[in-house]
């Protein structure tokens, strides 16, 4: 508008001024809105992450408990069948004895597979959808199982626990994979897979490189005297070759296996049996001394003390209170892994474009005891399996059997199965693999020098048990 007079000009300036300040106010308001929106979206993200975490936790815990419940059922059933075997033997019924022992061999596979199905049901009930990568890994593994029966020189590659077992097991895995795997069995022991026995098969090594936990190198890989791998490493040729896979025990399921073994022995050789199984007092002496196939706890899995829960164990996990004597054993446990998707609105997406997955791992195990008079004794006190398991509880992840292996950590499995052998042969590493990236970082002399320098001053700090175990303390693990 033209300003004709002085007063008009001044009014006009005022108007222009107030127009400018209105513009500034609008800009300010806009900025405030943008900030508020960002805060709002972030809060929504935090809120949705919190919901996803609770969901993951509930589903993870429920699936581990469901799996452990079926491990208990499996053990109790094998134990009941041992007791039924005693009765059949007393009555001289050889065909019943045969039926019982072959049923035990089947139960050791069927029970844990039911545990896998039950874990899926528990996860689904808590709103977790199947993970395509888990399902595909299980399907791939089913294909490997068929090869267990392939003939090599001198017979099949792996003896079947019962006739037709490998085909049956393969079909069950395929049908579970077809229904979708949401809660993956993270402490499976796949026959023929190497686990441990080499620094590059130890997940703690990679965690130590990533987190620059120099104490881990000081405590875990002394090359002799005070020298560590940080001092001695040269290049990929420095590492020893990968170890041969351990001799499998094909009597137990690879997934949620309960650790049983058949042994040819006579009942009279099992000390203290009459104290907990009064039936054997009435057995004819020839039955008591007959060599028969009984199912025992495998000593490799069922040690007398619960590692990391027993004071005096080098890796003792400091907890309030101690484990009751009757529960102080290592044995069957179930570890599950699952992811709950948390949608992000602010664009701070995780690895998954707008979606950040919350990982939850949980562990549970069956608890039980035998009664000897008024005493409670460990279920494995006599060696032979008897029905003993009454309860299922969650246990700390660090006291579970999975150690640093994680059967369904897909990236880890790719790394140890596909990347390590070429690396050890020629030093080749795979782009896009975070474990390969850790090795690359470790190969850098500057990286190792930082560690050596730190340790030369601070190694006295590396004596606490919580240092260097390389396990636990992470934010990615449950319990
Ligand atoms: Zn890799």
Q: Are residues 175 and 234 in the same domain?
A: no
The answer on pLDDT for 312 being more than 90 is no
The answer for residues whose C-beta is within 8 angstroms of residue 429's C-beta and 6 or more apart is: 419, 423, 436, 437, 439, 440
Q: For residue 356, list its beta bridge partners.
A: 342
Higher pLDDT, 479 or 159: 159
Q: What angle do CA 375, 376, 382 make, to 5 degrees?
A: 105
Domain-located, residue 88: yes
The chain-wide mean pLDDT, for the chain, equals: 84
CA of 440 relative to ligand 1 center, distance in Å: 10
Nearest to 339 by CA among 395, 410, 405: 410
Q: Are residues 231 and 260 in the same domain?
A: no
* pLDDT in the model for residue 462: 83
* Domain membership of residue 470 as a residue range: 199-239+409-479
Tell me how crowded residue 457 is: count the other CB atoms within 10 A of its CB. 8
CA of 422 relative to ligand 1 center, distance in Å: 10
pLDDT, one tens digit per residue, over 8-23 is 445 545 555 556 677 7
CA of 146 relative to ligand 1 center, distance in Å: 27
* pLDDT in the model for residue 245: 73
CA of 191 relative to ligand 1 center, distance in Å: 22
Domain-located, residue 33: yes
Question: At which of 366, 394, 422 does a domain end?
Answer: 394
Confidence of residue 293 (pLDDT cuts 50, 70, 90): very high
The answer on pLDDT for 466 being more than 50 is no
Q: Are residues 332 and 446 in the same domain?
A: no
* pLDDT in the model for residue 464: 53
CA of 414 relative to ligand 1 center, distance in Å: 7
Q: Are residues 166 and 29 in the same domain?
A: yes
CB contact at 8 A, 410 and 133: yes
Structural domain count, the chain: 2
Higher pLDDT, 453 or 461: 453
CA of 206 relative to ligand 1 center, distance in Å: 11
3-state secondary structure the chain: CCCCCHHHHHHHHHHHHHHHHHHHHHHHHHHHHHHHHHHHHHHHHHHHHHHHHHHHHHHHHHHHHHHHHHHHHHHHHHHHHHHHHHHHHHCCCHHHHHHHHHHHHHHHHHHHHHHHHHHHHHHHHCCCCCCHHHHHHHHHHHHHHHHCCCEECCEECCCCCCCCHHHHHHHHHHHHHHHCCCCEECCCCCCCCCCCCCHHHCHHHHHHHHHCCHHHHHHHCEEECCEEHHHHCCCHHHCCCCCCCCCCCCCCCCCCCCCEEEEEECHHHCCCHHHHCHHHHHCCHHHHCCCEEEEEECCCCCCCCCCCCCCCCCCCCCCCCCCCHHHCCCCCCEEEEEEEEEECCCCCCCCCCCEEEEEEEEEEEEEECEEECCEEECCCCCCECCCCEEEEEEECHHHCCCCCCCCCCHHHHHHHHHHHHHHHHHCCCCCCCHHHHHHHHHHCHHHHHHHHHHHHHHHHHCCCCCCCCCCCCCCCCCC
Q: Are residues 32 and 99 in the same domain?
A: yes
Measure the CA–CA gap between 19 and 13, rounded to whole angstroms: 9
Question: At which of 343, 360, 394 does a domain end?
Answer: 394
Q: Are residues 279 and 423 in the same domain?
A: no
CA of 429 relative to ligand 1 center, distance in Å: 6
CA of 438 relative to ligand 1 center, distance in Å: 9
pLDDT, one tens digit per residue, over 343-377 is 666 555 444 445 568 889 999 999 999 998 889 99
Q: Are residues 178 and 275 in the same domain?
A: yes
Q: Are residues 55 and 179 in the same domain?
A: yes
pLDDT, one tens digit per residue, over 60-117 is 999 999 999 999 999 999 999 999 999 999 999 999 999 999 999 999 999 999 999 9
CA of 221 relative to ligand 1 center, distance in Å: 21
Q: Are residues 278 and 360 in the same domain?
A: yes
CA of 137 relative to ligand 1 center, distance in Å: 17
Q: Are residues 360 and 450 in the same domain?
A: no
CA of 428 relative to ligand 1 center, distance in Å: 10
CA of 430 relative to ligand 1 center, distance in Å: 5
Higher pLDDT, 93 or 472: 93
Domain-located, residue 216: yes
The answer on pLDDT for 471 being more than 50 is no
Q: Are residues 179 and 297 in the same domain?
A: yes
CA of 425 relative to ligand 1 center, distance in Å: 14
CB contact at 8 A, 407 and 187: yes
Domain-located, residue 338: yes
Domain-located, residue 148: yes
CA of 434 relative to ligand 1 center, distance in Å: 6
CA of 164 relative to ligand 1 center, distance in Å: 36
Domain-located, residue 10: no
CB contact at 8 A, 325 and 375: no
CA of 433 relative to ligand 1 center, distance in Å: 5
CA of 423 relative to ligand 1 center, distance in Å: 9
CA of 437 relative to ligand 1 center, distance in Å: 7
CA of 193 relative to ligand 1 center, distance in Å: 17
CA of 419 relative to ligand 1 center, distance in Å: 5
CA of 418 relative to ligand 1 center, distance in Å: 7
Confidence of residue 38 (pLDDT cuts 50, 70, 90): confident
CA of 439 relative to ligand 1 center, distance in Å: 8
Confidence of residue 294 (pLDDT cuts 50, 70, 90): very high
CA of 435 relative to ligand 1 center, distance in Å: 5
The answer on pLDDT for 154 being more than 90 is no
What is the reported pTM?
Answer: 0.79
Domain-located, residue 13: no
CA of 420 relative to ligand 1 center, distance in Å: 7
Question: At which of 336, 371, 394 does a domain end?
Answer: 394
Q: Are residues 186 and 204 in the same domain?
A: no
CA of 242 relative to ligand 1 center, distance in Å: 15
Domain-located, residue 247: no
Region of residue 256 (left: phi > 0; alpha: psi -120 to 50; beta: else): left
CA of 230 relative to ligand 1 center, distance in Å: 21
The answer on pLDDT for 473 being more than 50 is no
CA of 202 relative to ligand 1 center, distance in Å: 13
* pLDDT in the model for residue 477: 39
């Amino acid at each position: 508008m033209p300003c004709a007079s002085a007063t008009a000009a001044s009014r006009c300036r005022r108007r222009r001024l107030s127009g400018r300040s209105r513009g500034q106010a609008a800009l300010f308001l806009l900025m405030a809105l943008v900030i508020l929106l960002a805060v709002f979206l972030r809060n929504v993200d935090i809120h949705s992450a919190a919901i996803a975490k609770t969901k993951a936790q509930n589903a993870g815990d429920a699936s581990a408990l469901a799996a452990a419940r079926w491990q208990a059922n499996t053990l109790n059933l094998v134990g009941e069948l041992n007791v039924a075997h005693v009765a059949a033997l007393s009555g001289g019924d050889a065909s019943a004895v045969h039926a019982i022992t072959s049923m035990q061999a089947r139960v050791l596979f069927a029970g844990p597979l039911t545990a896998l199905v039950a874990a899926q049901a528990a996860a689904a009930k808590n709103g977790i959808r199947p993970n395509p990568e888990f399902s595909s890994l299980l399907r791939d593994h089913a294909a490997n199982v068929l090869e267990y029966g392939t003939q090599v020189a001198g017979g099949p590659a792996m003896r079947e626990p019962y006739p037709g077992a490998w085909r049956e097991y393969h079909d069950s895995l395929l049908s579970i994979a077809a229904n979708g795997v949401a809660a993956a069995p993270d402490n499976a022991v796949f026959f023929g897979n190497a686990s441990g026995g080499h620094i590059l098969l130890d997940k703690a090594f990679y965690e130590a490189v990533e987190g620059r936990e120099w104490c881990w190198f000081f405590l875990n890989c002394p090359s002799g005297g005070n020298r560590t791998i940080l001092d001695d490493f040269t290049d990929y040729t420095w590492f020893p070759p990968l170890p041969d896979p351990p001799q499998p025990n094909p009597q137990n399921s690879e997934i949620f296996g309960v650790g049983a073994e058949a042994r040819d022995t006579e009942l009279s050789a099992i000390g203290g049996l009459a104290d907990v199984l009064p039936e054997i007092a009435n057995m004819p002496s020839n039955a008591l001394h007959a060599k028969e196939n009984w199912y025992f706890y495998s000593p490799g899995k069922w040690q007398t003390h619960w590692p990391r829960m027993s004071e005096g164990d080098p890796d003792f996990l400091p907890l309030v209170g101690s484990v009751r004597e009757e529960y102080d054993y290592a044995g069957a446990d179930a570890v599950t892994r699952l992811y709950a998707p948390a949608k992000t609105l602010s664009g701070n997406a995780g690895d998954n474009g707008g979606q950040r997955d919350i990982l939850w791992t949980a562990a549970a195990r069956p608890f039980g005891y035998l009664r000897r008079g008024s005493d409670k004794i460990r279920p494995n006190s006599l060696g032979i399996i008897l029905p003993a398991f009454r309860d299922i509880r969650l246990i700390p992840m660090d006291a579970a059997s999975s150690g640093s292996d994680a059967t369904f950590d897909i990236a880890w499995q790719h790394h140890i199965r596909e990347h390590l052998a070429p690396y050890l042969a020629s030093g080749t590493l795979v782009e896009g693999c975070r474990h390969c990236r850790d090795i690359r970082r470790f190969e850098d002399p500057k990286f190792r020098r930082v560690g050596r320098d730190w340790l030369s001053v601070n190694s006295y700090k590396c004596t606490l048990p919580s240092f260097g175990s390389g396990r636990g303390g992470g934010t990615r693990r449950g319990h």
